[in-house]
Chain A
Amino acid sequence: EAGVTQFPSHSVIEKGQTVTLRCDPISGHDNLYWYRRVMGKEIKFLLHFVKESKQDESGMPNNRFLAERTGGTYSTLKVQPAELEDSGVYFCASSQAGTGPREQYFGPGTRLTVT
């Protein structure tokens, strides 16, 4: 079974440009999460999809960030326009449907560098 995949693995863009990150969750996982780790800080939750619906987007830093999950499969996270403080590693995770405690399976992350 393939794990969570993310593309690209690394992106270097200039301030003001747009970047789109992609996450493919484990097949059949209804829950999809985005997290990010800014240098020197802890990994922070951004948002949670259940299928194609945004269940919780309380961690999205501002309206320059837009996440979508059309069709309830893969998800994209667009940053437009990118700022220097957006640099960091963006992780995607997925988990099975259900209401009990369950582990989240993480992808390798996308390292975003904004110059």
Chain B
Amino acid sequence: SQQGEEDPQALSIQEGENATMNCSYKTSINNLQWYRQNSGRGLVHLILIRSNEREKHSGRLRVTLDTSKKSSSLLITASRAADTASYFCATDALVGANSKLTFGKGITLSVRP
């Protein structure tokens, strides 16, 4: 299987509910990043969490990282219809100056109005 594997693969929730998405990975990392992709658009960076961090917040986003379990979660609180998108986690081993993101297949989030 691949690095940066998310679950669930698809998630449908009602507006106002919280959405939790999980990501697991296999190799050592320097940092883990979450991206969002709206239909037909490019990837938008959401948040970066370093391997020595356990939790990070940005607005309605909360990311956790458990390096012992090689897993991360992205929580979106009080979801909105505009949060409907695909979400990807990406790991970065960052060896020296070599940054190379390894992505999972992504999670499709649908937020019903």
Residues of A within 8 A of B (CB): 3-4, 31, 33, 35, 41-45, 48, 50, 55-56, 58-59, 91, 93, 95, 99, 101-109
Interchain CB contact under 8 A, A42 and B98 = no
**B100 touches which of A56, A101, A103 (Cβ 8 Å):** A56
Interchain CB contact under 8 A, B100 and A48 = yes
Q: In the assembled complex, which residues on chain B have CB atoms less than 8 Å from the CB atom of A48? A: 98-100
B2 interface contact, C-beta 8 A: yes
Q: In the assembled complex, which residues on chain A have CB atoms less than 8 Å from the CB atom of B44? A: 106
Interchain CB contact under 8 A, A108 and B41 = yes
Expressed in whole angstroms, the Cα–Cα distance for A87 and B43 within the complex equals: 19
A88 to chain B minimum Cβ distance, whole angstroms, is 13
Q: In the assembled complex, which residues on chain B have CB atoms less than 8 Å from the CB atom of A95? A: 99
A33 to chain B minimum Cβ distance, whole angstroms, is 8
**B33 touches which of A31, A42, A103 (Cβ 8 Å):** A103
Number of A-B pairs, beta carbon distance below 8 Å: 67
**B97 touches which of A45, A99, A104 (Cβ 8 Å):** A99
Q: Which partner residue on chain A sits nearest B103 by CB separation?
A: A43
With A31-B99, A56-B100 given, is the CB distance from A101 to B31 under 8 Å?
yes
Expressed in whole angstroms, the Cα–Cα distance for A58 and B33 within the complex equals: 21
Interchain CB contact under 8 A, B50 and A106 = no
With A42-B105, A106-B35 given, is the CB distance from A4 to B42 under 8 Å?
yes
B91 to chain A minimum Cβ distance, whole angstroms, is 11
Expressed in whole angstroms, the Cα–Cα distance for A56 and B94 within the complex equals: 12
B20 interface contact, C-beta 8 A: no
B57 interface contact, C-beta 8 A: no
Interchain CB contact under 8 A, A55 and B97 = yes
Q: Which partner residue on chain A sits nearest B43 by CB separation?
A: A106
Interchain CB contact under 8 A, B100 and A43 = no
A82 to chain B minimum Cβ distance, whole angstroms, is 22
Q: In the assembled complex, which residues on chain B have CB atoms less than 8 Å from the CB atom of A4? A: 42
